[in-house]
Amino acid sequence: MAYDGAVIRSLSRPFPTRWGAPVIDRVDTAIFVRTYYVNCMSCTYCGDSCCQYGSDIDVDNVARVEAHAADLERFTGVPRDRWWTGEWTDDREFPGGRQTRTRVEDGSCVFRNRKGRGCMLHSFALEKGLDYHEIKPMVASLFPVTFDYGLLHPSTEIADRSLQCIDDGPSLYKGVRGEIEWYFGPELVEELDGIEAEPGGRPGLAGMSGAK
């Protein structure tokens, strides 16, 4: 979804994730301009509203989660037959070429911590000494930046301004720079850093309606 004045920049080469997919070859410079409140665990007003739709998750990620099924059921209190929607889509942009979604119950992802804050897949990984990237959906880790057809760009909740914490904090890129590096590697981050640092410091800002 485009912004007034946003610029789509081609990258020097395609950048695949460590799993081969997705592959990024362009960036929407709005990720350097739009902002949000990145310190989720200190937020007191959103109630994890970004979790209300659940998350896309690739077939390989599902297998990694289910490898911890017994422990994860005990940790979350959610039985494994309630984790996924069960609806699968063939999609070459996701590792393994297929993806489903986490189930939504009572208006939120089943893995949202109802007794506290945050994602229980993330907190489970930290408790078990695992790298949370191995089990938390890539789409969730990268939020509020996402990918489509080779383009790295703001998530829908930024484009339609439905994210409660929009315009309050650092840029989308700064907020998830480390996540982008983990998935796509340091060379992509180095190139994105260079684009961000171009004269004016905020590429694509000129003429952008409502830019903060």
Contact 195, 27 (CB under 8 A): yes
CA–CA gap between residue 58 and residue 98 (Å, rounded): 6
Query: What pLDDT is recorded for position 40?
Result: 57
Mean pLDDT of 163-187: 87
Alpha-carbon distance values, 120 to 20, 64, 89, 97, 177 (Å)? 26, 15, 25, 25, 22
pLDDT at 210 exceeding the cut of 50: no
**pLDDT score of 44 more than 70:** no
Tokens read off for 185? 């590697």
- Give the Cβ contact number of residue 61 at 10 Å: 25
pLDDT tops 70 at residue 104:
yes
Structure tokens at 45: 């007003």
Quick: pLDDT tens for 3-40.
545 799 999 999 999 999 999 999 999 999 887 766 65
